[in-house]
Amino acid sequence: MPHDHPHDHDHDHDGMSPSGHPYRKDQDTGLSYWQCMEIAVRELLIEKGEVSAQEVARQIDVMDSRSPANGAAVVARAWVDPGFKALLLKDAGAACGEMGFDIGPLQLIAVENTAQVHNVIVCTLCSCYPRNLLGLPPDWYKSRAYRARTVREPRAVLAEFGLTLGEDVQVRVHDSTADMRYIVLPARPEGTEGLSEAELAALVGRDSMIGTGVARRP
Amino acid sequence: MGGTPAGPVPDASHDFALWEKRVDALMILASARGHFTVDGLRRALEDMGEAAFEEMSYYERWIAAINQNLVEAGVYSLAELGEKMEEVRARAETYGEAAGG
């Protein structure tokens, strides 16, 4: 597949957002064909009584409230509670539900990283992601490069994320589907024996639950 | 896609624009209304062909796929969509003004 188009063609390089990301075209630039379609589709759905403007706004609030902190809380609980960990690995949806995170009708599978096995998740088809636990996926997760290469040369991809695994570590790549999502249970770092559940959760970043990173050491 | 050679994984990330979040919300709400499933979304995406994946952004593909499913489900007609898009375009030059916020 050719890979010669400019990736960042719709980024504004003049400024960065407060969170350190480049701004995207938004409200203040020319109305694009697809933005026009979004407005039209939304208004038609509202006119037909299918959805309300309030429902759209509420859905965006729910979306914005989800973050990798949800997943980190689940991971920390699994680290301190063997019974919970067993349930998580058996039925991740039920385990997350116990903590108040609704996974919906999706099948969620938690895969455990150990000294011998490193798991990484990808969606080669599009962008399936455990968004109920991690929020919306990062851009790179949806990129053609990540989706194409993770199943072909996972060690090279992980090395680009700064994660170089020994040859004795087996790498398992999990390809998500629309109704089957994965989350990685990262290995608990050494030297964390005395930490509280909340302190442990603070060590668990988004990438460690995708498998492109590992949990931080305290 | 899966398994094909490709360049380095881009490390860029960005804040989602409001219109993109709305597309995401419409997908969830319209599928909750039973008009289509995530499989329907995926079918429309896959039917777009490779060019769409090189030329369109992620949420551009999504709104196109949502629209196709809603038309197929009979929620509105292509004529209604065309008329509405004309009306929206005539309102203003920018997204913010055309969307009324």
CATH number of the domain encompassing residue A184: 3.90.330.10
The total of structural domains in chain A comes to 2
Does A113 fall in a domain? yes
Does A1 fall in a domain? no
| Average of per-residue pLDDT across B68-87 | 96
A176 shares a domain with A123: yes
Does A204 fall in a domain? yes
Distance from the Cα of A160 to chain B's closest Cα (Å) equals 8
The tens-digit pLDDT sequence of chain A (218 residues) is: 344 444 444 444 445 555 555 555 545 568 999 999 999 999 999 999 999 999 999 999 988 888 999 999 999 999 999 999 999 999 999 999 999 998 877 789 999 999 999 999 999 987 889 988 998 888 899 888 999 999 999 999 999 999 999 999 999 999 998 778 999 999 999 999 999 999 999 999 999 999 999 999 99
Q: Quick one: pLDDT at residue A28?
A: 58
Q: How far apart, in Å, are the Cα atoms of B28 and each of A72, B15, B44?
A: 25, 20, 16
A103 shares a domain with A48: no
A38 shares a domain with A107: no
Query: Among A67, A126, A143, A196, which one carries the catalytic annotation?
Result: A126
Contacts with B49 from chain A: Cβ below 8 Å: none
Write the single-letter amino acid at A140: W
Q: How far apart, in Å, are the Cα atoms of B52 and each of A50, A169, B44, B60, B65?
A: 28, 38, 11, 9, 11
What phi and psi, each to the nearest 5 degrees, are found at residue A172? -115, 125
CA–CA distance, A143 with A48 (Å, rounded to integer):
35
Residues making up the annotated binding site of A are 123, 126-128
The total of other beta-carbon atoms located within 10 Å of residue A169's CB is: 14
**Is pTM, for the whole model, over 0.90?**
no
List, for residues B43-67, the tens digit of each pLDDT value.
898 888 888 877 888 899 999 999 9
A79 shares a domain with A15: no
Structural domain for A46, as ranges: 11-65
Spatial CA neighbour of A123 closest among A132, A131, A115 = A131
Return the percentage of chain B with pLDDT > 90, whole number: 49
Does A31 fall in a domain? yes
A74 shares a domain with A53: no
